[in-house]
Structure 1
Amino acid sequence: NWREGIVRVFHTHGAKVCIADLQDTRGQDVCESLGGDRNACYFHCDVTVEDEVRSAIDFTVNKFGTLDIMVNNAGLSDFEKVFNVNVKGTFLGMKHAARVMIPLNKRSIISLCSVSSTILGAGPHAYTGSKHAVLGLTRNVAAELGKYGIRVNCVSPYAVPTGLALARLPEEERTEDAMAGFRAFVGGNANLQGVELTADDVANVVLFLASDESRDISGANLMVDGGCTIANHSLRVFR
């Protein structure tokens, strides 16, 4: 999945990474696979609970000495949970990252958005509304934090067959045929042919926005979608 992919890409490029999540066993396993405690650590955190977000940020600063990059990247289904995790969780992450970044200058906050922030019919109503909110938050927070040298951007991928996405299918439909059908649907709606979007593609774009290679980019919604959003104003699911 692209959450793990982002962790691994940043670690490969020399970053010290703190994973804040509810999946304790999975998070700790990823940390151990990266060599243990020195450059990667795990902190149990529900992003909808402000005290836990604050504690996760403070833990990271105490562990590694600073906070240079914040990536907001949580996801769920169900209406209230969707807004709590996607919108409230992103807001709290931005708020407490900014708290420690403002005195430091020249830092970066990246949130995972979605093509649903710009086109219609790509996801359920709650999900689509939440991603529009993430885009609005990104732009507004970028406008506020620019004077401190803090860049704020979001990344909007098209569909990637992650475990979370496939978990929404009935168990009997989680088959190789379903995966093939999923990929065919995604490829058919992409404008750019011959490329299949992977979790690593998304992770590399997040890395770019965290790096000095994007030092003059802020308030952007970077689409990682094979041209889907330029070719499809709507996926026509409401016919």
Structure 2
Amino acid sequence: MELKNKVAVITGAGSGIGRASSIKLASMGAIVVLVDFNKETGEETLKLVIEQGGEGIFIQADVSQREDVQNYVNKAVEAYGRIDVFFNNAGIIQKFAPFTSVEESEFDRIMSVNVKGIFLGLKYVLKVMDEQGFGSIINTASTAGIRAEHSVAVYSASKHAVIGLTKGAALEYAKKGIRINALCPGGVQTALTASVTEQFEKGGYVPEEIPNMRIGRYAAPEELADMVAYLASEKASYMNGSIVVVDGGLTL
């Protein structure tokens, strides 16, 4: 399952699944274009990639801003001529709260990154891939995109929207050599999940129901990265519009 000299753009590359996937794809021979809002963590990921013999660049961007998205897409093409793989991954978590106490500003924050960011990434990368006539896109959704999770209704809505965007785009581009799939992680051991525990401890609000990690643990980011690598590769050549759940049985 090689990706030698394939150009892969990864958003949210500074941590968690994005970082693990960046390192994994680079280890398989891909040239990586790392995108993150956090310059320090993004450059740390690039350093890790280079230390293992990989090649790539880092571009700072806010994925909810059209100009930033156009910039990282343009710079990827300027540097390497094409985009073979796009891991449209950047996202944020909602603060756990009863539905009626969620502020409009929180709704806007979640939708801006989790939905608009995915939309803009698709919009501008698909233009490149359509001209090429090939490409693989993986959008990060969530188990919260296929079922509700308690006290994060807005986050759940945003991830349902990611699945809708994935299926809609996959349908349009199915005959154009472009595959578009969505990854639905359950609990993953990342800074985002660590912040959830901190919210419970400091915020004073705990949902009535907590997701059940049926396998007894959170996933390691590397376990999700393996699936990203598979979806990016030709091994997944007949997968398009698929909603791939990697959750240790959480949604059973």
Tell me the TM-score normalised to structure 2 length: 0.80
The answer as to whether partners of 1:116 and 1:122 remain within 8 angstroms in 2 is: no
CA distance in 2, matches of 1:123, 1:52: 31
Q: Distance in 1 between matches of 2:201 and 2:179?
A: 42
After superposing the two structures, state which structure 1 stretch, 193-202 or 155-164, moved more: 193-202
Alpha-carbon deviation of 1:164? 1.9
Are the counterparts in 2 of residues 2 and 202 from structure 1 also a CA contact under 8 Å? Answer: yes
CA drift at 1:2: 1.3
Q: How many angstroms apart in 2 are the aligned matches of 1:123 and 1:69? A: 34
CA–CA distance in 2 between the matches of 1:209 and 1:171? 33
Letter in 2 for 1:139: K
Q: Secondary structure at the match of 2:132?
A: coil
Question: Match for 1:94 among 122, 127, 130?
Answer: 122
Structure 1 residue identity aligned to 2:239: I
Counterpart pick for 1:138 among 149, 162, 166: 166
* Secondary structure, counterpart of 1:154 in structure 2: strand
In the TM superposition, what whole-angstrom CA distance separates every residue of 1:101-143 from its partner, at most 9, and x where no partner exists? 1121231111000001112225601100000000000000000
CA contact under 8 A between 2:26 and 2:54: conserved in structure 1? Answer: no
Within-5 A mapping of 1:210-225:
210-225=232-247
Pair 1:226 & 2:248 matched: yes
Between the aligned partners of 1:114 and 1:172, the Cα distance in structure 2 is 21
Report if aligned partners of 1:117, 1:131 keep a CA contact under 8 Å in 2: yes
Query: Does the Cα contact within 8 Å between 2:27 and 2:54 map onto a contact in 1?
Result: no
What is residue 154 of structure 2 aligned with on the other side? Answer: 126
Gaps of 5+ in 2: 1-15, 95-105, 203-209
Residues 195-232 of structure 1: CA deviation (Å, up to 9, x unaligned): 75211111111111110000010001000012222x2x
What is the CA-CA distance between 1:194 and the residue it aligns to? 6.9
- Determine if contact 2:17/2:222 at 8 Å carries over to the other structure: yes
Does residue 88 of structure 2 align to residue 72 of structure 1? Answer: yes
Conserved 8 A contact 1:116-1:123: no
Verify the 8 A CA contact 2:23 2:48 in the aligned structure 1.
no
1:49 is the counterpart of 2:65 = yes
Please say which of residues 85-94 and 67-76 is displaced more in the overlay: 67-76
Number of aligned positions between the proteins = 217
Among 33, 36, 48, which residue is 1:21 paired with? 36
How far apart, CA to CA, are the structure 1 residues paired with 2:140 and 2:150? 16
| CA spacing shift, 1:189–1:167, aligned 2, 3 Å | closer
Asked if 2 retains the 8 angstrom alpha-carbon contact of 1:19 and 1:27, the reply is yes
Classify 1:11/1:123 alpha carbon distance in 2 versus 1 (closer, same or farther; 3 Å).
farther
Counterpart position of 2:4: none
* 1:71 match: secondary structure: strand
Does the Cα contact within 8 Å between 1:20 and 1:43 map onto a contact in 2? yes
- Is 1:115 matched with 2:130? no
Change (3 A) 1:156 1:123: farther
Change (3 A) 1:196 1:102: same
| 2:58 aligned counterpart, secondary structure | strand
Task: Describe the SS at the equivalent of 1:46.
Answer: coil
Quote the Cα distance in structure 2 between the aligned partners of 1:83 and 1:70.
Answer: 20
Q: For residues 122 and 151 of structure 2, what CA distance do their matches in structure 1 show?
A: 24
Letter in 1 for 2:231: L
Q: Percent identity?
A: 29
Query: Counterpart of 1:236?
Result: none
**What is the alpha-carbon root mean square deviation over aligned residues?**
2.2
Q: Look up the equivalent residue of 2:180 and give its one-letter code.
A: V
Deviation at 1:169, TM superposition (A): 3.8
Gaps of 5+ in 1: 175-184, 232-239
Q: Counterpart of 2:148 in 1: which secondary structure?
A: coil
- With normalisation by structure 1, the TM-score equals 0.84
Per the alignment, in what secondary structure is the counterpart of residue 230 of structure 2? helix
